[in-house]
Amino acid sequence: MDGSNFSSPSSPFSHPFVSLYTDGSSLGNPGAGGWCAILEWNGGGKILKGGEPLTTNNRMELRGVLEGLKEIQKLIKEGIISPSTPIYLYSDSQYVIKGIGEWLPNWVKRGFKNVKNPDLWREYLRLSHRLNIYPHWVKGHDGNPKNEMCDFYARQEASRFQQKMGSR
C-alpha cells in the first residue's frame, strides 16, 4: 500500500469533518485491480492506493473504503481527529453507497446469505463501528476533481498489478 501526505494537520479537532473519496478499478472482472482513497482533514490529507493481482471491480471499490477507514482509525488513535468527527464518504459506486446506506442492515439480518464479498462487508462493519459515516454518491467521470484523481490512481494500480502478472 502506498500512502503519501499532501500536507500536515493543524491543531487537533479544528476541522469539523473528514472527507473520504474512494474508487476502485478492475482490468477484467475478475482481473488485476486497483483502489484509491483520498482523505482530507484538519487542513491535512493523505492519498492511499494499492491493488491486487486477481480481483473484481466491486472488491476494489470496497477495498478503497476499507483502507480509508483504517487510516481514519489511525488518526483517531493519534488524537488528530475525534471518534465523533463526521466522515463524508464519496464514491461513484452505487454498490458501495447503496450497500452502506440501504442494503447492509438486511444483509446483516440474513447473515450475509447470497451477498457477494461478505468478508469485506464484515470488515466494513468492524472498521465503521461507532463512526459517523455519511455516504454520498458522485457521478463518475463527471469532472469531480477528487473522484477523477481516485479513478486515475485506481486504474494506475490495476495496470501496475496487470504488468506484474504479465512479467511472471
Largest CA distance in the chain: 49
Comparing CA positions, the residue from 74, 90, 55 lying closest to residue 165 is 55
For residue 15 the three cell numbers come to 476541522
| pLDDT for the residue numbered 6 | 43
Catalytic site residue from 24, 33, 45, 50:
24
Domains of the chain in start order, with CATH, are 2-162 (3.30.420.10)
Q: What is the mean pLDDT of each run of 10 residues along the chain (168 residues)?
A: 48 70 95 97 90 97 98 94 94 97 97 97 97 95 90 97 79
Specify whether 24 is catalytic.
yes
Of the residues 40, 52, 151, 157, only one is catalytic, namely 151
Query: Does residue 136 have an active-site annotation?
Result: no
Q: Indicate yes or no: pTM above 0.85.
A: yes
| Pick from 29, 5, 45, 71: nearest CA to 158 | 29
What pLDDT does residue 10 have?
45
92 catalytic? Reply is yes
Choice among 40, 52, 61, 67 that is catalytic: 61
Per-residue pLDDT, 164 = 86
Handedness of CA 64, 66, 72, 74 (dihedral sign): negative
pLDDT, residue 19, reads: 96
Candidate list 34, 92, 99, 157, residue with the active-site label: 92
